[in-house]
Amino acid sequence: MTTFSAPAKIILFGEHAVVYGHPAIAVPFSALRASAEVHKNNPPGQGLLIVAGDLQKTIRVEDAGNVLAEMSRLILKQLGASPPDVPISLRSTIPVASGLGSGAAIASVLGRVLSAVVNHPLSDDALNQIVYEIEKLHHGTPSGIDNTVVVYEQPIYFVRDQAIQRLKIGQSFQLVAADTGKSAPTRISVGDVRKLYEANPAKIQPVLNSIGQIVEQARQIIEYGNPDALGPLMLQNHLLLSELTVSSPELDALVDAAMNAGALGAKLSGGGRGGNMIALVAADTAEYVGQALLAAGAARIYHTTVTA
Ligand code: PMV
């Protein structure tokens, strides 16, 4: 049987403001992936098991309080199916709780494999809806950007509650992503921005509007194929995210290190407070920027190209 897989994702611009109806831009990060398949050579009669290879753990679909079991139950409910008698093998190279969309990718592959096993084909649109429901369980009030970019595996210009808009990449560009090594639940940073907004909308609304304007400019630059011009916009977006209190000393230190090493721009990516940042690099500085990020305390770095 087929192996189903889904990519990680990187938000390039617009996180947090996207929750308030502003646009955001995200791309799949295809080198990091979650995958699921029916586990071979297992005797029947054990019910639905999730064999989580990376955790070296086998989970029963009935297990209370387990996130993978909970995801599987929700998917089966949406499919209108009872648990099949198969073991599912699940793997992922996407770090968890670090703004790379690990939860959405895992939910997506579980959805695809379970729909195949119970013989209930799912369109991408239907799967996207299911993964969004699962994101709600873990993120509180997600905008839907993570599930959308992960399920369709396409660069997207995303506005909450609107039809998905694929983004044309006019010219390829290179990024280095760096992980602070601190996991930070998106639910908390999103909740804190909400409190900030409610306490002082007159101050926060303009910050969100400015982020929205940056996204519009970035979209044109990306489509037009002039990616070097994204650098200053990334820095502006990072400063606005700091005003929303979602940066952290670690993220700021990595942004500074990338810029000092010759990156064209840098910003936090995703929920913030920890997790990942991204730096835009020219081909001849990519390696040096990566080394500088490690020297500045990054737990891991990833090189990736957003391809035209
Ligand atoms: O899952 P993360 O950490 O990449 O964050 C998603 C982006 C937010 O805008 C912070 C939240 C959302 O639901 O859009």
Go through 33-64 and write b for each residue having 16 or more CB atoms within 10 A of its CB, e for each that does not.
Answer: bbbbbbbeeeeeeeebbbbbeeeeeebebebe
Catalytic residues: 146
| pLDDT on residue 96 | 83
| pLDDT on residue 139 | 76
Same domain, yes or no: 223 and 146: no
To test ligand 1's pocket by mutation, which of 102, 133, 138, 139 has the most ligand atoms within 8 angstroms of CB? 139
Same domain, yes or no: 281 and 301: yes
Same domain, yes or no: 46 and 150: yes
- Give the three-state DSSP class for 118: coil
Which of 133, 158, 183 is the endpoint of a domain? 158
Same domain, yes or no: 12 and 39: yes
Q: How far is the CA of 241 from the centre of ligand 1 (A)?
A: 12
Distances (CA, A) of 103 to 9, 88, 100, 120: 11, 17, 9, 22
Domain span holding position 232: 168-306
Q: From CA 99, how far away is CA 104, in angstroms rounded?
A: 11
Q: From CA 186, how far away is CA 136, in angstroms rounded?
A: 11
List pocket residues of ligand 1, CB cut-off 6 Å.
11, 15-16, 18-19, 99, 139, 142-143, 145-146, 186, 190, 270-271, 275
The closest-lying atom of ligand 1 relative to the alpha carbon of residue 17 is 9
Length of the chain: 308
Q: How far is the CA of 274 from the centre of ligand 1 (A)?
A: 12
Domain count, the chain: 2
Residue 163 falls within a domain, yes or no? no
The closest-lying atom of ligand 1 relative to the alpha carbon of residue 97 is 3
Same domain, yes or no: 7 and 153: yes
Which of 113, 137, 158 is the endpoint of a domain? 158
What CATH number should be reported for the domain holding residue 108?
3.30.230.10
- pTM here? 0.93
| pLDDT on residue 186 | 87
Same domain, yes or no: 257 and 301: yes
Same domain, yes or no: 140 and 280: no
Q: From CA 90, how far away is CA 153, in angstroms rounded?
A: 19
Same domain, yes or no: 8 and 101: yes
| pLDDT on residue 205 | 98
pLDDT along the chain (308 residues), means of 10: 92 97 96 91 84 86 90 93 94 87 94 95 93 86 93 96 94 96 90 96 98 98 96 98 98 98 97 95 97 97 95
